Amino acid sequence: MKIYKDKGKWFKFWRKLVANNSLDQEVQFLYQILDKFAPNARSIIDLGGGTGLHAQKLAEYDYVLTVFDASKQLLDAVPTFSTLNTILGTFEDIAKVLGSKQYDVAISMWTTFTYILDETKRSNFFAWLSANIKDLIVLDQSNFYLYPKKYRSEPIVQEVDDVKMKVWREFELSDQFLRTGRYHIEVKDSDGSVDKFIDPEVMQFVPIENLQQLLGENWELVETYGSYDGALYDKEFSKRLITVFKRKDV
Ligand SMILES: C[S@@+](CC[C@H](N)C(=O)[O-])C[C@H]1O[C@@H](n2cnc3c(N)ncnc32)[C@H](O)[C@@H]1O
């Protein structure tokens, strides 16, 4: 079995490789934001939550989690239990899939909502959020203002359970902050065979002003963080742009 054919396993592997094991810090960061800005919240939808890495930890705490993701294979790897469930759907179709279902909080980690490329579909997605999230919206993106127009990384090498993996990535960034990139991946499987493949991705960074406009006047930007360690956002220095919006009439 090639590790990348088992999407759940592959995703965890990949996440470990690129995320530098920052998951615990990310979850702690989310707890703190929730405690501070939405102390009464219970239900959370994790938009593009993948295998439920954040959701699982939050669901073991005090929250009821729904992982919403377009990949059935990733959702199949979520360990569902009474406070953790999954819904298959795309951001572009969220209104159709979820209708008027409501959640106290929405989170979207790891630059995930930036996979929406179509402007109208993005507007519809945010209109759904604006109408159906009751209290708080946390949107995490990389800080694209720091990125060069063209980039190619050094390879990262990691070994997990007999599988060796080498990954490097490259991208081009347009003046409108559309990032067209790809991961180059080499995997040496436990049977000694080597596979090389390319995983493309295109992402559209959304500046703060646009997020505010998309969510509309019922939503107030209450904080912008630049890192999972809780540091505040600085356009020229921060690695991330994590925006926290709160519904005004809660
Ligand atoms: C970079 S991963 C991040 C996953 C997770 N939030 C995390 O932090 O580990 C992006 C996720 O977004 C999902 N995704 C990508 N495009 C999507 C779309 N249009 N609608 C819903 N999910 C999407 C993918 O299936 C994947 O699980």
Which class is 3-143+206-247 in CATH? alpha beta
The whole-number pLDDT of residue 55 equals 96
Average pLDDT of every residue of the chain: 92
Where are any strands of DSSP class E within 109-239? 133-142, 150-152, 156-160, 163-173, 178-188, 194-204, 219-225
Q: Give the ligand 1 atom nearest the CA of 49.
A: 6
Q: Is 69 in the pocket of ligand 1 (CB under 6 A)?
A: yes
Atom from ligand 1 closest to the CA of residue 110 = 8
Residues of the chain with CATH 3.40.50.150: 3-143+206-247
Please state the rounded mean pLDDT for residues 188-205: 90
Q: Which two tokens stand for residue 245?
A: 């919006």
- Average pLDDT, integer, range 47-61: 93
146-203 adopts what CATH topology? S-adenosyl-L-methionine-dependent methyltransferases (2.20.130)
- Of all protein residues, whose CA lies closest to atom 12 belonging to ligand 1? 48
Distance 109 CA to ligand 1 centre (A): 9
- Give me the pLDDT at residue 18, please: 61
The mean pLDDT of 165-173, rounded to a whole number, is 93
Q: Where in the chain is the domain with CATH 2.20.130?
A: 146-203
